[in-house]
Chains A and B, each alone.
Chain A
């Protein structure tokens, strides 16, 4: 296993910021920790990155105890904290070179490695431009690249795609998958479940400091009792046996099959806004928010 957490907990004064985090992440894969704000995502990541000492439970990275063997853990990990920023006066090349040197790599080897990474990510042409000239997506991609270029086995990225547009997010996800294809393990946190579905091999849901579900995205989807959903307009009362969620003047109706859903919609005579397959957000709402349709 690349990452193992068993009953992890962290207390801040009288408040438990993390109460019970238990999950596993295999090597050469992407694990996504998803949950609402304040659920304990950053605290979990900080414990795994040896920044916080847990108050209960235990965690291992590549088999090393994050407390007792923290030096070994620090040798095999690289970490990008939440809202991580650098001087925008640096160029992508300088950023990567500096970070590789900080790991003990010589300037000359760092330059060679930076070139390899920048070429692999299609950023070689941008290597000499200062970060403040780059778009938000390019900048974030350079930051993530500077972490993933570090010689490590497990990479922790805390909300690497926050605040950037769809294109920028996909640029970052491309970098992440590129790293995994080269043998790395990436553990990241996000609010965005559509990107979790795109990039993750394992998704862990966390709510109020407790991990409530874990599995690969397909398994999680299959654990959800419905396959299709329709958004319908109107506030009208639906029969009690129709699985649905109210969203103000719109409602979400669920069914096991597409035909079953169309039959139901015809029967209910509702104004249909759209019909879709269920996704991780539906699973999330069920397991994290307890919103059972």
Chain B
């Protein structure tokens, strides 16, 4: 039970911060709404369905990579990381606390809107629940990737200057909000190297939309990224006694 309260403690502080900085949550909701309108205006309900899957997965990805990753990065600058090392809090509790604290304002606030989009596009909620699980995996993978990079930055003040472009690079440029099927070879195959591309493609397969890669490619790609980034993060995630 104490372990649970420690996780809640980290989440509580993060939640309190975002409760005060609520405009960021509004900005995030506006992005979801705006992108959905854009997609449906050009591609109708089919595009909206693709967008619902992509937004759900990138929502989790952004919480891990950008929000939680940045918070941990800034903790290193402000001394909170050092303070927490000298306490009974474990690294796992610390990370889970941040993911919980960041996902409640961002992922959960977007969820009703994404659910509405899915219903409009005719996606069954049971299938969407499977994508939600995929979104959780994306959250962990995003955080592992983020920390693999952040923990190697020499000047820790540059946290958001690293995570923001990394988020854009992994979501806007590759075929995440659009299908890899529109890309010619070898670009289509090369795109499978991006973690967000295979995650969203897996999501498309889960809801019965046209997917670009065989399932084993997306599953293997996701698993490989999870293991690789987890190992890279662990090599630098020193919890004291350095």
Contacts and interface: CB of A to CB of B under 8 A. Distances in A.
Contacts of B2: 104
B140 interface: no
A107 B8 contact: yes
Contact of B83 (A53, A79, A101): A79
Given A52-B241, A81-B83, A94 B13 contact: yes
B2 to A, nearest CB: 3
B8 A84 contact: no
A75 B241 contact: no
A75 B88 CA distance: 5
Interface in A78-124: 78-87, 89-90, 94, 97-107, 110
A77 B86 contact: yes
Interface string A144-178: 00010010000010000000000000000000000
Contacts of B1: 104
Given A50-B240, A74-B88, A83 B79 contact: yes
Interface string B48-88: 00000000000000000000000000000011101111111
B12 interface: yes
Interface residues of B, number: 29
Interface in B3-61: 3, 5-6, 8-10, 12-13, 16-17, 20-21
A104 B97 CA distance: 12
Given A52-B242, A77-B86, A102-B87, A90 B13 contact: yes
B88 A104 contact: yes
Given A50-B85, A51-B242, A79-B83, A104 B16 contact: no
Give the size range of A's interface with the partner: 35 or more
Interface string A40-84: 000000100111110000000000000100110011011111111
Contact of B87 (A67, A97, A150): A150
Interface of A: 46, 49-53, 67, 70-71, 74-75, 77-87, 89-90, 94, 97-107, 110, 130, 147, 150, 156
25 contacts: A50-B85, A50-B240, A52-B241, A52-B242, A67-B241, A74-B85, A78-B86, A78-B87, A81-B83, A82-B79, A85-B79, A87-B17, A89-B17, A94-B13, A98-B16, A101-B8, A102-B13, A102-B87, A103-B6, A103-B89, A104-B5, A104-B6, A104-B9, A104-B88, A106-B5
